[in-house]
Chain A
Amino acid sequence: MNIVCCIKQVPDTAQVKIDPDTNTLIRSGVESICNPYDLVAVEMAVRLAERYSGKVTVISMGPPQTESALRECLALGADKAILLSDRAFAGADTLATSYTLAQAISRIATDETVDLVVCGKQAIDGDTAQTGPGTATRLGYHQFTYVSEVIGVDLEKNTITVRREVENGSEIIEGTLPALLTVELEAASPGYASLPELVRSLIQEVPTWGADDIKGSPESLGLKGSPTWVKEIFAPPARTGGLLFDSAENKDQAIADFLDVFFEKEHEILDELWSVDKG
């Protein structure tokens, strides 16, 4: 079974902040990491490849330094990595990104069959969760989003059964291969790389594919293929604070003061809460 994983290198968003006074980014020390959801996707793909004797190819679109994220995935046990990097890919929104990924997967599928594509649920920088379903739509694959478990793959019947998390519960659903999954955090827990895998991940060749390699039409790639534009960027609006009770000097007094004020000012909310409770 051949599995393709789509991953993204992202800035560690927990570290990115905006200075509300100057409206500039405070980005000192912000590192680029492999999107955590994608590491889950790779881990899951590697496990499936073990279970169904297959192999895993990881692809990523991005500037040349994205190679380090791909190597991280090789260390997790992926067999092959391909970097999709070209000036023509730059400035892509999710529509153009899904085009590029779908073209690359189609190219892989001309050399060998692709049975399954696994993506993370979303990327932590944009949090859109759009690229996976978009890629599946372009490829015409069955798509399963928010997958928490692959229940089974039947390579003879060419089917896959997964559990996916929906609004009020989980759905067990069966589709045909090739299929594309986007996976939840609980789908797998990426472990540590073994020493041999780590060594391999550092020395293995990672080829780069550009626009010509994936037969990308210039009109659909990067900035040109992106219908959405960023108008402006700003710091999130501040909510102004209220009363402060410091327990450092006299803890009991501070808490008593807080409760007094709180019960007096918010008695309407509290009455409503507790009347519902009693009723």
Chain B
Amino acid sequence: MPKNSKGKEIAEIIPDKCIGCQLCVAECPVNVITMEGAVAKIDPEPCIGCGKCFDICPTAAVIFDKPRKKKVAGAVPRPSALDEYQGVAVFIEARDGHGAEVAWELVGKARELAEKLGTRVLGFLPGTGVESVAEEAISYGCDVVHMIDNLILGPYLPQTYGKALVQLCRQAKPEILLLGATPLGRDLASVVATQLETGLTADCTGLDIDIQERLLLMTRPTFGGNIMATIFCRNHRPQMSTVRPKVMKLPQKDSSRQGEIHRLEFEAPDGTLPRIIDFIPKAADVGGEDINQAPVLVVVGKGACDSQHLPMLEQLAQLMGGTIACSRPVVESGLLPYVRQVGQTGKTVAPKIYIGVGVSGAVQHLVGMQGTEKIIAINSDRHAPMVQIADYAIIGDYAEIVPEIIQGIEARVKRSKP
């Protein structure tokens, strides 16, 4: 262990492990840690060698091995007031008289979490004319549905839905609240978490329970998907998390399931509300078919970002019964629109067949397609991450390979269906 000139044993930061989260900067009692570029650095002379930076560092980037009792972050007893929060709640986003599919995916996950915790699954359902959605929620696995059915909860506004969900949390006191990471869900989750002053973790890909501490462990990709982080919220309730559509599995619907429906009163929020003047539905020929729904995606990557060969890739997609999607660099180049982007900052997809053409497979792209059934990679670089994970990888020049594949498929289809 390094010492300073006074002979004091001090902590040291390994720059390669530091992710620049600044937790140590905040924790240092003598303010000797500063950010140097994206990395924290300890000034050795004034360091008192207390080891607090070592305790708080999430990446074990601090070298400190002086024998001492290791204190875990938040080893202080948890406020007992948190014990009255019980149950795993799911926000049910209603659209045209049905719950959004992502809500049911989350109800499925909530069941699993609730069983580990020995508690119930609650459905939080604000909306207008949503009685039938409440029944649907029970058949997907909710034990209790807390419903606010009110005319003011028509089209989504952060003010009205925010107030309704905050009210539901205050009345039903769930320990966990899950929301779908749809545009609406993400907007709403931030409003509610801020009003309740609780922790919110966006776009989780994994949810689990630390049963000893009775904590929700929320795992999400961060740094553009290059790193996975597990996050928890110890002293605030509810523990809130958003999850993207298609990340969790859709549970079986069982219409014979029984549950309770609680109807709650609601008063409109004070102040002027924004006014929705018009709604323009997505035209089919503008962003194209929803890449979320296509069973087959031919995904154009940086290595195939060429307008000359795009028709050929479109032909392959059409032949397979799917559509074209792309990675982020292709959107940035202007070849394809943003609505076709797969990945962390684009859409999460789970097609039956994914055909990546010249897609290297940066992690921020991979996190958007991890639910895919079969992956085909066409790439000139055999070491590309996409090739490493593909079920089928064809190495070579896509401009030569794709036409042959098209021919081959056409021939085989003809043979099987004369």
Contact = CB atoms under 8 A, between A and B. Distances in A.
Interface of A: 11, 13-14, 16-18, 24-27, 30, 32, 63-65, 87-88, 90-91, 93-95, 98, 122, 124-134, 136-138, 142-146, 161, 165-176, 184-186, 222-224, 226-248, 251-252, 254-256, 258-259, 261-263, 266, 269, 272-274, 276-277
B84 interface: no
Interface stretch (B1-9, B103-111, B215-223): B215-223
Interface majority SS (helix, strand, loop, mixed), chain A: mixed
Contacts of B221: 127, 236
Interface in B272-311: 272, 274-282, 295-296
Contact of A229 (B17, B74, B409): B74
A132 B193 CA distance: 13
Interface string B14-56: 1111111111011100010011011100000000000000000
Nearest to A184: B338
A269 B276 contact: no
Contacts of A273: 295-296, 320-321, 352-353
Contact of A16 (B158, B224, B275): B224
Contacts, number: 310
Interface of B: 14-23, 25-27, 31, 34-35, 37-39, 58-59, 73-74, 95, 155-156, 158-159, 162, 182-184, 186-187, 189-191, 193-195, 197-203, 217, 221-236, 272, 274-282, 295-296, 320-321, 338, 344-345, 352-353, 362-364, 366-367, 370, 373-376, 382, 387-397, 400-401, 404-405, 408-409, 412-413
B193 A242 contact: no
Contact of A232 (B17, B230, B320): B230
A206 B404 CA distance: 60
A258 B187 contact: no
Contact of B235 (A14, A227, A245): A227
Nearest to B200: A130
B363 A236 contact: yes
B298 to A, nearest CB: 13
Contacts of A185: 338
Contacts of A245: 392-395
**By CB atoms of chain A within 10 A, which of B16, B156, B397 has the most?**
B16
A202 to B, nearest CB: 20
A276 B352 CA distance: 13
Contact of A129 (B186, B224, B373): B186
Contacts of A137: 158, 162, 190-191, 194-195
A165 B184 CA distance: 10
28 contacts: A11-B38, A13-B224, A13-B225, A16-B227, A24-B14, A26-B16, A32-B38, A63-B25, A88-B26, A91-B26, A126-B223, A137-B162, A137-B195, A143-B187, A146-B183, A171-B276, A223-B27, A227-B235, A230-B231, A238-B389, A239-B389, A241-B391, A244-B387, A246-B396, A255-B404, A273-B321, A274-B321, A277-B321
Contact of A133 (B14, B187, B280): B187
Shortest beta-carbon contacts, A-B, top 7? A13-B224, A247-B396, A227-B199, A91-B26, A133-B190, A223-B26, A175-B274
